[in-house]
Amino acid sequence: MKIALGADHAGFEIKNRIVQMLRDQGHDVIDYGTCDETPVDYPQFGYVVGEAVASGQAERGIVVCGSSLGIAMAANKVPGVRCAAVFEPLMTELARQHNDANVIALSERLTGWEMLERLIHVFLTTPTLGGRHAYRVEQLFEYGDAQRERTLKAIENGQVTDAQTPPDIAKAPAQSL
């Protein structure tokens, strides 16, 4: 698989280790840096990995910073990116199954190597479930002016918006919706 990687100075050591591991596994890796501890700004690395994935140059992206949070926020600014900051395997599985995450954000400071290996394995091997989940994932990219107006109006009226899962999608048992 073609995978883009990026990290700031608080994530580059783990990022380098991940690059090596993925290459050893036969993946085609694009390493956007950074490659040493000179302080850099995590948004730039979130953006570049995000754009590589959104444009189709890479199938998946992995970003790393100290906490995972800032670089995830940056990657999610790129239209087409669904980046999940993940810390344990089930949330990683769900990020793929329900949210079709195409980028994950990892923390060098908070997550150990063995767990990171598991998270990456789950991220790269779990398929998305599609169906009703795809219908919701599509909405993540529909938040333009019209949707914003509806949402602001709903807040003003003290209501939720009128969005409803269509009956053909909502036929599964409630707990799996």
Q: Site residues (CB under 6 A) for ligand RB5?
A: 8, 10, 42, 65-67, 69-70
Give ∠ CA 146-149-155 in degrees, rounded to 5.
145
What lies within 8 Å, CB to CB, of 25 at 6+ separation is none
| Shortest separation between residue 32's beta carbon and ligand RB5, angstroms | 15
**Residue number with CB closer to ligand RB5 (73 or 129):** 73
Cβ count within 10 A of residue 75: 32
Residue type, 99: N
| Shortest separation between residue 60's beta carbon and ligand RB5, angstroms | 21
The catalytic residues are 65, 98
Q: Rounded to whole angstroms, how far apart are CA atoms 65 and 71?
A: 6
**H-run or E-run covering 44:** helix 42-54
**Residue number with CB closer to ligand RB5 (46 or 122):** 46
b or e along 7-36 (b: 16 or more beta carbons within 10 Å of the residue's beta carbon)?
bbbbbbebbbebbebbeeeeeebbbbbbee
| Shortest separation between residue 50's beta carbon and ligand RB5, angstroms | 15
| Shortest separation between residue 66's beta carbon and ligand RB5, angstroms | 3
